[in-house]
Amino acid sequence: MVKFDTLSIVVPVYNEARTIHQILDRLRVLELIQGIRKEIILVNDCSTDASAEALATYAAQYPELDLRILHHAVNQGKGAALHTGIREATGDYVIIQDADLEYDPEEYNIMFKPILKGFADVVFGSRFMGGNPHRILFFWHSIGNKVLTFLSNMFTDLNLTDMETCYKLFRRDIIQGLALEEKRFGFEPEVTAKVARIPGIRIYEVGISYYGRTYAEGKKIGWRDGFRAIYCILRYGLLGK
């Protein structure tokens, strides 16, 4: 069995004042197996709502929580927020957590299994495998996800079912050793392509739940991001940039 002490949870935040306390409540009460400690890193990407105030209020309310709040002076995009959080992480492993309510932190413990058994260096949480709950939403989004994952797999020679998933768990030295460039939603295909090129890397995938949001509920990704993802797949997968 592999043991580690601390998980760094990187949360990009942009205009999530209405719900940020809910995901923080889940992270606060979350108990990780083997007594693994939580380091929560929130990166406020120059939100235009009351997100900054909501984060400060929460941190003051729960001073015992290992909570670090970082701010961007200008809005740069989700990928840029992740770059900041990943760079500041000090845990043995790093996981990405969206500030919305689409993913369930309770399932970190599921993702730990191939790590703790000594099989994996990186674990992707797939919304499209296993018997976990999956909210039924947009047909064309699901087709888009499958197309992007298929194209990514073509160039990485992986057989992932969900390249675009938020839940990606990395050994810290691996993710901090990558030169990441994409500042928006291109982060997913870029990090997948660059991880796949690491010699001897062991990548696993486990099934997770998905409680998706509609655009009225705050979903932000759009069709332009899909075209950017295709560009990133070609740039980092085919050209190896």
Mean pLDDT by 10 residues, the chain (241 residues): 93 94 97 97 98 98 97 97 98 95 94 97 92 64 85 96 96 98 93 97 96 58 73 86 63
Residues contacting residue 62 through CB under 8 Å, at least 6 positions apart: 28
Q: What is the 3-state secondary structure (H, E, C) of the chain?
A: CCCCCEEEEEEEECCCCCCHHHHHHHHHHCCCHHHCEEEEEEEECCCCCCHHHHHHHHHHHCCCCCEEEEECCCCCCHHHHHHHHHHHCCCCEEEECCCCCCCCHHHHHHHHHHHHCCCCCEEEEECCCCCCCECCCCHHHHHHHHHHHHHHHHHHCCCCCCCCCCCEEEEHHHHHCCCCCCCCCCHHHHHHHHHHCCCCCCEEEEECCECCCCCCCCCCCCHHHHHHHHHHHHHHHHCCC
The Cα 157–Cα 100 span in angstroms is: 31
Residues contacting residue 70 through CB under 8 Å, at least 6 positions apart: 41, 42, 43, 44, 84, 85, 88
162, amino acid identity = D
pLDDT the model gives residue 217? 52
Residues contacting residue 147 through CB under 8 Å, at least 6 positions apart: none
pLDDT the model gives residue 152? 96
**Contact of 2 with 117, CB cutoff 8 Å:** yes
Greatest distance between any 2 Cα atoms in the chain: 49
Length of the chain equals: 241
Say what the pTM is. 0.91
Sign of the Cα torsion 173, 174, 176, 178 reads: positive
**Contact of 79 with 186, CB cutoff 8 Å:** yes
